[in-house]
Amino acid sequence: MGVSRIASEVAVFARSTYFQYVALFQWASVRGYVAYKILLPVDQMLFFVELGAYATGPENAAYFALGNALQLTANAGIFGVIATVANERHFGTLPILLGSPANRLVTFMSRAVVNVLDGIVTVIIGFAIAIGLFGLDLHHANIPLLALCVVVVSLSTAGLGLMFGSIGLVMRDAIIVANVIYYVMLVLCGVNFPVSRLPGAVQLISYSLPLTRGVEAAREAVAGASFGQVAGLLGGELLVGLAWALAGYALFATLEGWARRGGMQEAY
Partner 1 sequence: MAMSAQAIEARALRKTYDSTRGVFRREKVTRVALRGVDLAIERGELFGLLGPNGAGKTTMVKIFTTLLLPTSGAATVLGLDVVKDEWALRRRIGFVFGGERGLYWRLSGLDNLRYFADLYRVPPEVSRRRIPELLERLGLAGRERDRVELYSRGMKQRLHLARGLLNDPEVLFLDEPTIGLDPVGARELRVIVRELADAGKTIFLTTHYMFEADAICDRIAVIKAGEIVAEGTPRSIKTLVEDQGVVEFEVVGLPRERLDELRGLPGVSSVAVAEHELAQLVTVHCARPSEVMTQLSAALDGLKLEKLSSREPTLEDAYVQLIGDAET
Going residue by residue from 197 to 236, which x/- string records binding to partner 1, judged by CB under 8 A? ----------------------------------------
Residues 172-195 as b/e (b if ≥16 CB within 10 A, e otherwise) read eebbebbeebbeebbebbbbbeeb
Q: Does 254 bind partner 1 (CB under 8 A)?
A: no
CB of 267 to partner 1, least distance (A): 10
Does residue 262 bind partner 1 (CB under 8 A)? Answer: yes
Figure out which of the listed residues 1, 2, 59, 101 binds partner 1, where binding follows CB under 8 A: 101
CB closer to partner 1 out of 55 and 105: 105
Nearer CB in complex with partner 1: 90/138: 90
Residue 51 or residue 172: which is nearer to partner 1 going by CB? 172
Judged by CB under 8 A, the chain residues 18 through 77 that form the site for partner 1 are: 19-20, 22-24, 28
Secondary structure (3-state) at 209:
coil
The residues near 38 (Cβ < 8 Å, ≥ 6 apart) are 125
Per rule CB under 8 A, is residue 96 in the interface with partner 1? yes
Nearer to partner 1, 175 or 247 (CB): 175
Could you say which of 139, 140, 197, 261 contacts partner 1 (CB under 8 A)? 261
Shortest Å, Cβ 168 to partner 1:
16
- Rounded CA gap, 53 and 254, in Å? 46
- Secondary-structure percent of the chain, ordered helix, strand, coil, rounded to 5: 85, 0, 15
**Residue 122 amino acid letter:** T
- State the Cα–Cα distance between residues 211 and 191, nearest whole angstrom: 9
Are 129 and 201 in contact by the 8 Å Cβ rule? The answer is no
Q: C-alpha distances in angstroms, 50 versus 40, 44, 64, 86?
A: 15, 10, 9, 33
Residues in the chain: 268
Q: How many helices (H) and strands (E) does the chain have?
A: 12, 0
Closer to partner 1 at the Cβ: 14 or 187?
A: 14
> Is residue 58 a contact partner of residue 39, using CB atoms and an 8 Å limit?
no
- Residue 172 engages partner 1 in binding (rule: CB under 8 A): no
By CB under 8 A, name the one of 91, 144, 202, 254 that touches partner 1. 91
Work out the angle between the directed axes of helices 81-91 and 104-134 (0-180°, nearest 10): 120
Among the listed residues 97, 128, 175, 198, the single contact to partner 1 using CB under 8 A: 97
Q: Does 99 bind partner 1 (CB under 8 A)?
A: yes
- Which residues contact partner 1 by CB under 8 A? 8, 11-12, 15-16, 19-20, 22-24, 28, 91-93, 95-102, 107, 260-263, 265-266
